[in-house]
């Protein structure tokens, strides 16, 4: 029954009575006060049902204390210790005994650091490990330390991996000492692989900045490999065929005998000129027979550099000097050729100097081709950087 209905019922019960006496008035006032009290209790109950109860209210009312007493106690599983274990192996897969395994955990209520050594089976084990974040560091002499991080849950038996592989330590700096002769031999080995279009030998050019000088033995070895290279022999045979077809050096005649003489003369010219100008004299005069590729600077500076290298060369001391080896070698080869060329085609002293001058001009053209064209068509050249004249 509602408060409004209850109040109406009381009013109806009073309708036939007199309210003049004091007792009647007091009873009426008492009923009114009782109704007001009931109304106040109802309002308070309604407000508690519709508004959230704060912790402060619970504490003030005593309910917070009761709630704390009635709260479920922490279960042992929330603080149960776990374990961490694993196996350490080396690079070849064999178990590694004696590796130091260090366990570090954060927090003030647990040991901050523990360590064990792997046993004869390579195994390590940490028991009674509190839950939380941890870090394992596995180290041993000759191996790079390995760090494994993780989080151990309550009661967990943690295995970082089926095995823990120790990688070999990598040193930050490795110094290799070698003599200039050994370095030159290695670079020469690379030069002997240089072929234009992968076919034509291009041994007498170096792309290495400040390449060390060649020894006498290396100069003779390079000259020999250049003259007996199959492509060099093939080119000599083709030149002999062209000379035969145009009847050059007619004193040799025609037929197989004439071709053989022309072929022999071409091979002799190349062999004598290379051996004298690129091996013998460079060894005696301590000069480098190779062309040092420049590759940088303006086009004009590279042109002047290439032309100048027809009459200058780098000495074994690293300084630029007159190329006496190439110039004298050309004159010597021309003079020796008078021994096997037909009498009608032999050159005199004047012609030998003229041919030497022509050879120098041809060398300048070849250097220009080396500087601007050949490298683009020579595969497999490492990027050594640029040479400086």
Q: Is pLDDT above 70 for 108? A: no
Q: What is the mean pLDDT of residues 3-8?
A: 40
CA-to-CA dists, residue 193 to 145, 199, 275, 352, 382, angstroms: 43, 10, 20, 34, 11
Per-residue confidence (pLDDT) for residue 217, from 0 to 100: 95
Each residue of 55-94: pLDDT tens digit? 444 444 444 444 444 544 444 445 678 888 888 887 667 7
Domain 81-165 coded CATH 3.40.50.2300:
no
Q: Is pLDDT above 80 for 5? A: no
CA-to-CA dists, residue 184 to 193, 224, 238, 330, angstroms: 15, 17, 34, 26
Phi, psi of 348 (to 5 degrees): -85, -170
Q: Which residue ranges make up each domain of the chain? A: 81-165, 180-377
**Token representation of residue 372:** 């601007």
Question: For helices 216-227 and 180-191, what crossing angle results, to 10°?
Answer: 10
Each residue of 294-329: pLDDT tens digit? 998 999 999 999 999 999 999 999 999 999 999 898
Q: What is the mean pLDDT of residues 372-381?
A: 90
CA-to-CA dists, residue 361 to 23, 252, 294, 323, angstroms: 149, 28, 19, 14
Asked if 137 contacts 102 with a C-beta cutoff of 8 angstroms, the reply is yes
Separate counts of helices (H) and strands (E) for the chain: 12, 14
**Token representation of residue 233:** 């022999």
Each residue of 222-273: pLDDT tens digit? 999 999 999 999 999 999 999 999 999 999 999 999 999 999 999 999 999 9
Phi, psi of 385 (to 5 degrees): 105, -165
Mean pLDDT for the chain overall = 78
Percent of the chain with pLDDT over 70: 71
């Amino acid at each position: 029954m509602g408060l409004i209905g209850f109040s109406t019922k009381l009013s109806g019960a009073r309708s036939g009575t007199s309210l003049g006496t004091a007792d009647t008035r007091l009873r009426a006032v008492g009923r009114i006060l009782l109704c007001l009290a009931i109304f106040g209790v109802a309002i308070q109950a309604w407000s508690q049902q519709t508004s959230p109860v704060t912790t402060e209210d619970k504490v003030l009312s005593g309910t917070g204390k009761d709630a704390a007493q009635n709260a479920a106690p922490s279960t042992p599983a929330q603080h149960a210790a776990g374990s961490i274990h694993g196996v350490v192996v080396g690079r070849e897969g064999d178990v590694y005994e004696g590796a130091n395994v260090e366990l570090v955990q954060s927090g003030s209520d647990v040991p901050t650091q523990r360590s064990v050594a792997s046993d004869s089976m390579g195994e390590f084990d940490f028991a009674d490990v509190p839950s939380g974040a941890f870090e394992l560091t596995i180290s041993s002499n000759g191996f790079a330390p390995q760090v494994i991080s993780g989080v151990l849950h309550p009661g967990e038996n943690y295995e970082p991996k089926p095995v823990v592989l120790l990688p070999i330590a990598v040193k930050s700096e490795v110094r290799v000492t070698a003599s200039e002769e050994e370095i030159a031999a290695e670079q020469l080995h690379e030069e002997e692989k240089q072929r234009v279009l992968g076919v034509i030998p291009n041994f007498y050019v170096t792309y290495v900045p400040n390449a060390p000088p060649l020894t006498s033995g290396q100069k003779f070895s390079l000259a020999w490999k250049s003259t007996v290279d199959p492509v060099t022999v093939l080119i000599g045979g083709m030149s002999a065929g062209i000379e035969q077809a145009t009847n050059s050096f007619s004193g040799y005649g025609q037929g197989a005998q004439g071709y053989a003489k022309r072929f022999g003369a071409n091979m002799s010219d190349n062999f004598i000129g290379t051996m004298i100008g690129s091996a013998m004299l460079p060894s005696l005069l301590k000069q480098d027979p190779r062309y040092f590729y420049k590759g940088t600077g303006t086009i004009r500076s590279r042109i002047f550099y290439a032309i100048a290298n027809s009459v200058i060369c780098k000495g074994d001391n690293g300084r630029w000097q007159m190329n006496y080896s190439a110039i004298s070698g050309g004159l010597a080869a021309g003079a020796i050729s008078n021994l096997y060329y037909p009498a009608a085609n032999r050159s005199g002293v004047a012609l030998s100097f003229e041919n030497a001058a022509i050879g120098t001009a041809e060398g300048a053209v070849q250097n220009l081709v080396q500087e601007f064209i050949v490298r683009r068509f020579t595969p497999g050249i490492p990027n050594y950087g640029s040479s400086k004249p």
